[in-house]
Structure 1
Amino acid sequence: MEAYESIKKLFQLYVGKRFSKEGKALFGKWLRAEQDQEIKEHLLRQHWETVTGEISADTWEDWNRLRSQLGTSFHRKKQIQLMWLKYAAVVTLFLVSVGGTYWITEQHTLRQSVEMAELFVPYGETREIQLPDSSRVWVNAGSTMLYPKDFRKMDSRTIYLTGEASFQVYKNKKKPFIVKTSGVDVQALGTVFTVKSYAGEDYTTTTLEEGSVKVSLKDGTTQSYVLKPSEQLVYSHRDHSVQRNRVDLSLYKMTREGYLIFEDVPFWQLVSTLEKKYGVTFQYNVTRYGNDLYHVKFAPDETIEDVMEILHQLMGIQYAIKENNIIVK
């Protein structure tokens, strides 16, 4: 189940988004890898049901060139000819939708032997990993990250993220370090920063601790912002607005150590964070708690039972815990 959800998130991250030529090639490498092929084929078939493009002579021509380029046919099971033709079309339309003609024309990049690594962190967990260039990443709960297993043949160190992760980047001026999300691209040169961009949330947040980063918007404009330490940029997916804030780094660094720190946040945001941290589901009256703001801190070793009791003592919240469900009365 975790593998399916992870791959599904990656598909959602790519479909309909704008990516660099290198990123399209990397996604193609990952897509044609044998690992989890049945799940990938299932999601490709699902994507077929949503595409609006029609099959034409150009589709078949693109497919034949694409199949030769990728070195794979994507069909291991013998099926009737009609179903196979439809499946060939969905592969072609899907790759064209995320990669354009680059799949067909830029052969040299696809020939590079680049393997993709995929990391999915389920709710209730966090992970710390070291990237191939010795950069370190702290990946938060409910996050998915895709990156090359070897940066040596790449022009840049490009990471694809949906969720939240903190990066401590190893300096290499010849190969910029770039974190790509659905809303912004964040480029760093030897720095420490955090990117938060969960699927389904309205904001992408970039917070800088050390060095500098350039945040480029992906809303059809060429806007970019250079952040200084202690600065935070919040990008709205709804109205494409940008807000720059100052943050207290002494508190912010504590979050990497496992602390949960909330400063004047609405109840839904507090609940969303707790759900990811502890792998639970909240049930509550949105109208009743819609206007309340919360200011509270929880230690790394505190359980969800401890957290709820603190909220009860400090704010009078009445609740009941039934397995992984928390009912707020």
Structure 2
Amino acid sequence: MDKNYFENQSQWEKVLAILHQEQNQQVDHTDLSPEERELLTELRHIKALSESYTEIHDFNTDAKWHELRLQLQPSKTIKKLWDVKWIKYAAAILILLSSLIYLKVHRDKTGFNTSTAQKDFRPGGNKAILTLANGRRISLTDAQNGQLSKESDIIITKSKDGQLVYTMVPSVIPNKTAQINFNTIETPKGGQYQVNLPDGTKVWLNASSSLKFPSSFASAQERTVTLDGEAYFEVVHLNNKPFKVKMKGYDVKVLGTSFNISNYEDDGFIATSLLTGSVMVDAKKNGDVVLVPGQQAYLDTKGGGIQVNTIDVNNAVAWKNGDFVFEKAHLFSIMKKIERWYNIHVVYEGSFKGFNYSGQVSRQQSLITVLDMLAATGRMKYKINVERKEVILMEN
């Protein structure tokens, strides 16, 4: 499609008028030229994006709308179409079209192909490796549903895609003096998995995370697991047998509750967010605190004590429910989550000072859809190297 036709006032007005009319009635498109049909298709897609996603609050809508009106200079007839509802659509069209044009221009220069990139950078899914006490490794991604192994009084089953279940062998009396055997479940970049522990506790692992746990808690004085990465826990209450999550220099002790822990080494912090119940966070030399629902304990691993903040805990567990949610988050923080989920590497060209965003998007969207939302602010642009699984971000 010729770039110059985007600047043709009459075609813009004609296609935008049809897009508006389609809201309430069927419209005859037989008189549209091939270029106008293509423009209409692209604008429909952009309009759908603006309706489907939470608005990214990082641009001046009024300013972009004014810029669009100056470019189009619509006639009196066309001006009647610009009601309040269409202001956001128009701003989104202007901003997102700049991203589309940028991608078109760079496709020839870099060999970049959107359909190939979308195919290669689909969102993550249920992927994990289970390592048993005897060293045997099982790819849960490839394993069939059903029993995977049996250890002493425990049966290990893949009950369905994305879920691993540990259950007591029926009619077998637990051996309270048996040696404790540890299993480890690991998710790669682009992976997630749920594991139901032998006590009934449920754990959801985020991408690039691992959980080490006993295959049976029968002979343990307390239920202790070790976490690296991020996980959401729903802990079953057991009298006289507390549940503990161990990390490097940091423990979380609970009786029965639901909470999220983010403990990625490259983030430089550990955050424990409590949804229900009560937990004690023990940061060793950095002190300890007891949380109530709606609070988050935040520890900078480079130094300093624990900070306790009141937060929207739904945002902390949005990943478990299938969404990315950002509240005034810096671009670097956002892209770390994107790197883990889409299994890519990000290169920055610029300082990106003050690049903070708020918004929400499904984790099932393609990488390009997520990047287009960020680029829609007009402050940054990106290139993708499919072969190297690399995204390059540049300041505008």
The TM-score with structure 2 as length reference comes to 0.54
Please tell me whether the aligned partners of residues 158 and 179 of structure 1 are also in contact (alpha carbons under 8 angstroms): yes
Tell me the distance in 1 between the aligned counterparts of 2:220 and 2:365: 43
Counterpart for residue 299 of structure 2:
235
Counterpart for residue 54 of structure 1:
none
Percent of aligned pairs with the same amino acid: 26
- Whichever residue aligns with residue 260 of structure 1, its letter is F
Tell me the distance in 1 between the aligned counterparts of 2:281 and 2:192: 25
Structure 2 counterpart SS, 1:150? coil
What's the offset of the Cα at 1:313? 1.3
Please tell me whether the aligned partners of residues 267 and 290 of structure 1 are also in contact (alpha carbons under 8 angstroms): no
Tell me the distance in 1 between the aligned counterparts of 2:321 and 2:135: 37
Structure 1 counterpart SS, 2:325? strand
- Whichever residue aligns with residue 234 of structure 1, its letter is Y
Deviations for 1:8-62, whole angstroms, at most 9, x for unmatched residues? xx9xxxxxxxxxxxxxxxxxx95xx4447xxxxxxxxxxxxxxxxxxxxxxxxxx
Instruction: Compute the RMSD of aligned alpha carbons.
Output: 2.3
Tell me the distance in 1 between the aligned counterparts of 2:353 and 2:136: 44
Please tell me whether the aligned partners of residues 142 and 163 of structure 1 are also in contact (alpha carbons under 8 angstroms): yes
Q: Which deviates the most, 307-316 or 225-234?
A: 307-316
Counterpart for residue 280 of structure 1:
344
What's the offset of the Cα at 1:199? 2.0
- Asked if 1:328 is matched to 2:355, the reply is no
Counterpart for residue 167 of structure 1:
233
- Summarize the Cα distance change of 1:137–1:315 in structure 2 as closer, same or farther, 3 Å threshold: farther
- Whichever residue aligns with residue 302 of structure 1, its letter is Q
- Asked if 1:303 is matched to 2:366, the reply is yes
Tell me the distance in 2 between the aligned counterparts of 1:207 and 1:123: 23
Match of 2:259 among 193, 198, 204: 193
- Whichever residue aligns with residue 266 of structure 1, its letter is H
The TM-score with structure 1 as length reference comes to 0.64
Counterpart for residue 72 of structure 1:
none
What's the offset of the Cα at 1:137? 0.5
Deviations for 1:34-93, whole angstroms, at most 9, x for unmatched residues? 447xxxxxxxxxxxxxxxxxxxxxxxxxxxxxxxxxxxxxxxxxxxxxxxxxxxxxxxxx
- Whichever residue aligns with residue 300 of structure 1, its letter is R
Please tell me whether the aligned partners of residues 244 and 251 of structure 2 are also in contact (alpha carbons under 8 angstroms): yes
- Whichever residue aligns with residue 312 of structure 2, its letter is D
Match of 2:375 among 303, 312, 323: 312
Match of 2:243 among 143, 156, 177: 177
- Asked if 1:209 is matched to 2:275, the reply is yes
- Asked if 1:133 is matched to 2:196, the reply is no
Match of 1:218 among 284, 292, 305: 284
Please tell me whether the aligned partners of residues 145 and 159 of structure 1 are also in contact (alpha carbons under 8 angstroms): yes
Structure 2 counterpart SS, 1:200? helix
The number of aligned residues is: 226
- Asked if 1:289 is matched to 2:352, the reply is yes
Unmatched segments (≥5 aa) in structure 2: 1-128, 138-176
Counterpart for residue 18 of structure 1:
none
Higher relative contact order (Cα pairs below 8 Å, separated by 6+ residues) = 2
Q: Which deviates the most, 126-135 or 194-203?
A: 194-203
Counterpart for residue 116 of structure 1:
182
Structure 1 counterpart SS, 2:318? helix
Tell me the distance in 1 between the aligned counterparts of 2:265 and 2:363: 25
Unmatched segments (≥5 aa) in structure 1: 1-5, 11-28, 37-110
What's the offset of the Cα at 1:191? 0.3
How do residues 47-196 of structure 1 correspond to structure 2 at under 5 angstroms?
112-196=178-262
- Summarize the Cα distance change of 1:315–1:135 in structure 2 as closer, same or farther, 3 Å threshold: farther
Counterpart for residue 84 of structure 2:
none
- Summarize the Cα distance change of 1:235–1:300 in structure 2 as closer, same or farther, 3 Å threshold: same
What's the offset of the Cα at 1:290? 3.6
Please tell me whether the aligned partners of residues 233 and 243 of structure 1 are also in contact (alpha carbons under 8 angstroms): yes
- Summarize the Cα distance change of 1:123–1:34 in structure 2 as closer, same or farther, 3 Å threshold: closer
Tell me the distance in 2 between the aligned counterparts of 1:257 and 1:34: 32
Tell me the distance in 2 between the aligned counterparts of 1:178 and 1:146: 12
- Asked if 1:248 is matched to 2:312, the reply is yes
Tell me the distance in 2 between the aligned counterparts of 1:230 and 1:261: 17
- Whichever residue aligns with residue 269 of structure 2, its letter is Y
What's the offset of the Cα at 1:200? 3.0
What's the offset of the Cα at 1:253? 4.2
Please tell me whether the aligned partners of residues 183 and 204 of structure 1 are also in contact (alpha carbons under 8 angstroms): no
Please tell me whether the aligned partners of residues 262 and 297 of structure 1 are also in contact (alpha carbons under 8 angstroms): yes
What's the offset of the Cα at 1:315? 4.2
Deviations for 1:174-223, whole angstroms, at most 9, x for unmatched residues? 1110000113100111100011111233111100000000000123x6x2
- Asked if 1:262 is matched to 2:326, the reply is yes
- Whichever residue aligns with residue 313 of structure 1, its letter is A
Counterpart for residue 73 of structure 2:
none
Please tell me whether the aligned partners of residues 215 and 224 of structure 1 are also in contact (alpha carbons under 8 angstroms): yes
- Whichever residue aligns with residue 269 of structure 1, its letter is S
